[in-house]
Amino acid sequence: MGRYSARLAPQLADFAGVRSGQRVIDIGCGPGAVTSELVDRLGPTNVFAVDPSEPFVAVVRERFPAVDVRRAAAEQLPFPDNAFDAALAQLVVHFMSDPVAGLSEMGRVVRNDGVVAACVWDHAGEQGPLSVFWQAAGELDPDVKDESHLAGARAGHLAELFVNAGLRGVEATALVATVVHASFEDWWGPFTLGVGPAGAYAVGLEADRRAELRERCRELLPTAPFELAARAWTARGLA
Amino acid sequence: MAENVTVPRMPIAPELLEILACPVDHAAVTDETTHLVCSSCGRRYPIRDGIPVMLVDDAEPPAGERPIS
């Protein structure tokens, strides 16, 4: 997923209109895909990052020592009103315990007419980066709970959340991240690390069930090397 | 580097402290070396490995008070 999110970050920053001279915060920074893009555009001292997870925050601190990074939840941001020119949340809104509260907090810490922007993988459609994984998992176990029910993962829902959060002039688009996989193992490997709901599902299976899932994924995917395009629903609004 | 000495944390730069706020009431916080302390409600946010933990669930209550539920 890291390679897909790295491809997404510059597109999200463009869509949010991030440019030199601004002070911008990366909400739910994870291992720092967006933080890295912001540092390139703004310089590290104009970049702020928060994530509730200790390991992610430690990674970002290590990668970008001059970036102000803190452990914090999107729903309760440790900043005063109007502190930033923009707030970005890449692949985060679907993990928020209260997405509308999180987006509304992002609007609070952004100045008037500043930009709030976010994107979520198209988990409900057939063009998410995990579509093949969840399709195979669903064939082998009809009761599997994939990520399509998550906030913002279906067409139009993210923009709806933006409007409910009180953001103005909401616009929606779809961004596409394309990654070339040299081999099937190159695609499958990240799932075995247990990261995210898909990784947790793969790691939680018994070995023979996991092997079954892996082989069904191999059948569904094109012959390697293959290119996969993943779509992310994206929205921006003004604070 | 000196032996057996805890390396002191760099103080948070004043311009950064200006845009730090309590996640509950958004009041200013002060840098008390091991913690950031809210000037309004008094919640104490620990600084672990140089990273402020501004999670309300991890905050310590004001000195002398019972935990904030």
Compute the distance between CA of residue B6 and CA of residue A10 in angstroms, rounded to an integer. 40
Query: Is residue B5 over pLDDT 70?
Result: no
- Cβ(A103)–Cβ(A160) under 8 Å? no
CB pair distance less than 8 Å for B52 and A71: yes
Give me the number of domains chain A comprises: 1
Alpha helices in B1-69 (DSSP H): 14-17
Report pTM. 0.87
Per-residue pLDDT, B7: 46
Say whether residue A62 is in contact with chain B using an 8 A CB cutoff: no
Predicted pLDDT at B67: 54
CB distance from A83 to chain B under 8 Å?
A: yes
Any chain A CB within 8 A of the CB of B38?
no
* Per-residue confidence (pLDDT) for residue A104, from 0 to 100: 98
Distance, first Cα to last Cα, chain A? 30
Please state, in angstroms and rounded to a whole number, the distance separating the CA atoms of residues B35 and B45: 5
Instruction: For residue A89, give how far its alpha carbon lies from the nearest alpha carbon of chain B (Å).
Output: 18
Of the listed ranges A35-39, A127-131, A223-227, the one predicted with least confidence? A127-131
Q: Best of A68, A75, A98 to disrupt the B interface by mutation (most B CBs within 10 Å)?
A: A68
The torsion angles phi and psi of A204, rounded to 5 degrees, stand at -75, -15
- Write out chain A residues lying below 8 Å of B16, CB-based: 68
Percent of chain A with pLDDT over 70: 100
Span A41-99, pLDDT tens digits: 999 999 999 999 999 999 999 999 999 999 999 999 999 999 999 999 999 998 899 99
ipTM: 0.79
The CATH number assigned to the domain holding A84 equals 3.40.50.150
Domain extents in chain B: 14-58
Query: At residue A2, does pLDDT exceed 90?
Result: no
- Domain containing A66 equals 2-238
| Cα gap A203→A210, rounded to integer Å | 8
Contact check, Cβ <8 Å, B16/A77: no
Tell me the pLDDT tens digit for each residue of A186-218: 999 989 988 888 999 999 999 999 999 999 999
Asked whether A64 and A36 are in contact (CB, 8 A), the reply is yes
Compute the half-sphere exposure of residue A190: CA atoms within 13 Å on the CB side of its CA.
15
CA distance B4 to chain A (A): 23
pLDDT tens, position by position, A107-130 = 999 999 999 999 999 887 777 788
